[in-house]
Amino acid sequence: MLTMNRTKKILIGVAVALLASLLLALFALYQFSAPQSKAPEERIIINLGTSEKELINQLHAQGYIRSPLAFSMVLTIKGGHGKIEPGGYLISKAMSAWQLADSLVNHPYQRWVLLPKETEYLYFLHDQEGKIHPARTYEEHLENIEKYLR
């Protein structure tokens, strides 16, 4: 009889621990999931000087992520801290934290570049290999487009 009560208590304790673990896992998955099931891609701009913390808070306030902490954890796991550059990005509220982090770290559609004040060039483009081709005039820029991008 004494052994049966002890066994029941152990089984109840294990069941409670399993249920708590399951609920915690479901909560964690929810925090990393997309805020919406369907949403169009939108263009966002990350300005020069925007800190990562400011960006994460903006993404949360605008409904792109459910949890700033979860998104920061994703960046840590993916090695993305400090790798989000100023520029233009296509993102969606239907992206999970994992997808959004990948997009922001690896796939800007526009990158911002700082030019030194002393430069004589007004136009820049990069070819398929990433090499930059400067031009002083718009006509030179059009020539570079024909030469390196077509």
Per-residue pLDDT of the chain (150 residues; tens, 9 = 90+): 567 788 888 889 999 999 989 988 888 888 899 999 999 999 999 988 899 999 999 999 999 999 999 999 999 999 999 999 888 899 999 999 999 999 999 888 787 777 777 888 888 888 888 788 889 998 999 998 888 887
Q: At what angle do helices 68-78 and 52-61 cross, to 10 degrees?
A: 130
Q: Which pLDDT score is estimated for 126?
A: 83
| C-alpha pair distances (Å), 98 with each of 33, 45, 94, 136 | 8, 19, 11, 41
Nearest C-alpha neighbor of 44 from the set 27, 63, 68: 63
Q: Give the residue range(s) of CATH 3.30.1490.480 domains in the chain.
A: 9-111
Q: What is the pTM of this model?
A: 0.67
Distance CA 83, CA 43 (A): 19
CATH superfamily of 9-111: Endolytic murein transglycosylase (3.30.1490.480)
Q: Which pLDDT score is estimated for 2?
A: 60
Q: Which pLDDT score is estimated for 39?
A: 94
List Cβ neighbours of 59 (8 Å cut-off, separation of 6 or more): 65, 68, 71, 100
